[in-house]
Amino acid sequence: MQGKLLVVGSLNMDLVVNVARHPQIGETILGGKFTTFPGGKGANQAVAAARMGAAVTMIGRVGQDGFGDELRARAAEDGINIQYVTVDKNEATGIALITVDALGQNTIVVASGANLALTPQDLITAKAAFANADVMITQLESPLETVSEAVSLAAQHKLKIVLNPAPAQRLDAKLLSMIDYFIPNEREAMQVVGAETLESAIDQLLAMGVKNLIITLGEKGVLVVTADGRRQIPAYPVIAIDTVAAGDAFVGAFATGLAEGMSVEQSVQLGNAAAAISVTRYGAQPSLPMRKEIKEFLGGQK
Ligand code: RIB
């Protein structure tokens, strides 16, 4: 069964420099190769899902410039319906300044540009897209009032709601209680509730009404906390060269699994496989695997 996904979120052009190590504050270092890659958490998750075979519609905003044209074109090449990715005449397309070190670890600074001009009204205009989806994914690179409207429209249309709270900010119980699958990494889980430890964050998130908590732990795998209890699902061991968009690979593939009617565990396995493959490749969207590659990868795992 083909899943139907709606992604409300960001599109950025990633400006990436490879470095031996990240600079200290006030320090200048010489980097290596400079590359541009299509990115943005929303677009990455949309592409990840499309490459898993989902029918994906995206709602987002780019500027009237070369980066915006390229991002829309690349998303369309992946089969994503970009009818609701609109062009803003006043704001530039979002960009992300990224450094990737020799261990594949990154730092990312986003200049959001047109992503911050995505309004609740844009979502109301795109209401038909909500009526035609099984699962809605969103993140926090769009204005919070727009994310809240997306969640509210998705709830009205009885979609499964996935929120990846990145980059993290404090969230209230009204929003959290409407989320079916909340997917932070360890640090984000603590930041959204202002907790000092992961344990405290888990307790607070559950008390605030999160239904299924899926915490990504990088090479340690994923911690799943549901009404049935908690279990840690290990990551597939690989050698990472670039971890940019690993979380997005996970979210897009996980949501595709849900939309196809898979269990949470099966969806996590799909997400883990997509993330594992993505970290073995450079760039955000170029690193995201096709479903066929996942099948081959899982066939090769013991
Ligand atoms: O999650 C990775 C993404 O974060 C990058 O592609 C960058 O654009 C930022 O949005």
Residue 27 burial (CB count, 10 A): 7
- Out of 15, 44, 279, mutate this one to test ligand 1's pocket (max ligand atoms within 8 Å of CB): namely 44
Domain encompassing residue 251: 4-299
Instruction: Tell me if 218 sits within 8 A of 207, measured CB to CB.
Output: no
Mean pLDDT of 136-157: 98
Res 301 pLDDT > 80:
no
CA 243 / ligand 1 centre spacing (Å): 10
Q: Which residue puts its alpha carbon closest to atom 8 of ligand 1?
A: 40
Which ligand 1 atom lies nearest to the CA of residue 284? 6
Which ligand 1 atom lies nearest to the CA of residue 38? 6
Give SS3 for 237. Answer: coil
pLDDT of residue 261: 96
Mean pLDDT of 18-33: 96
Specify whether the backbone of 26 is left (phi greater than 0), alpha (psi in -120 to 50) or beta: left
CA 176 / ligand 1 centre spacing (Å): 23
CA 279 / ligand 1 centre spacing (Å): 14
- Out of 187, 248, 250, 287, mutate this one to test ligand 1's pocket (max ligand atoms within 8 Å of CB): namely 248
CA 203 to chain CA mean position, Å: 24
CA 98 / ligand 1 centre spacing (Å): 9
Res 202 pLDDT > 60:
yes
pLDDT band at 291 (very low <50, low <70, confident <90, very high): very high
Domain count, the chain: 1
Q: Per the residue annotation, which of 14, 78, 88, 248 is the catalytic one? A: 248
pLDDT band at 300 (very low <50, low <70, confident <90, very high): confident
Res 302 pLDDT > 60:
no
Q: Are strands 212-216 and 222-226 parallel, antiparallel or unpaired?
A: antiparallel
Which ligand 1 atom lies nearest to the CA of residue 12? 8
Residue 235 burial (CB count, 10 A): 20
Q: How far apart are CA 126 and CA 246, in angstroms?
A: 29
**Residue-level length of the chain:** 302
Question: Which residues are near ligand 1 (CB < 6 Å)?
Answer: 10, 12, 14, 39-41, 44, 96, 108, 110, 141, 244-245, 247-248, 284
Please indicate whether residue 242 is annotated as part of the active site: no
pLDDT of residue 267: 97
In this structure, what CATH number is given to the domain that contains residue 283? 3.40.1190.20
Which ligand 1 atom lies nearest to the CA of residue 248? 1
Res 228 pLDDT > 90:
no
Instruction: Tell me if 266 sits within 8 A of 298, measured CB to CB.
Output: no
Q: How far apart are CA 45 and CA 288, in angstroms?
A: 9
Which ligand 1 atom lies nearest to the CA of residue 141? 10
Res 212 pLDDT > 70:
yes
Q: How far apart are CA 277 and CA 298, in angstroms?
A: 10
Measured at the CA of 148, the angle between CA 261 and CA 62, to 5 degrees, comes to 90
Q: In percent, how much of the chain has pLDDT > 90? A: 97
Average pLDDT, the chain: 97
Res 3 pLDDT > 90:
yes
Q: In percent, how much of the chain has pLDDT > 70? A: 100
pLDDT of residue 163: 98
Q: Which residue puts its alpha carbon closest to atom 9 of ligand 1?
A: 40
- Out of 67, 97, 98, mutate this one to test ligand 1's pocket (max ligand atoms within 8 Å of CB): namely 98
pLDDT of residue 64: 98
CA 119 to chain CA mean position, Å: 19
pLDDT band at 227 (very low <50, low <70, confident <90, very high): confident
Res 139 pLDDT > 60:
yes
Mean pLDDT of 113-128: 97
Mean pLDDT of 238-254: 97
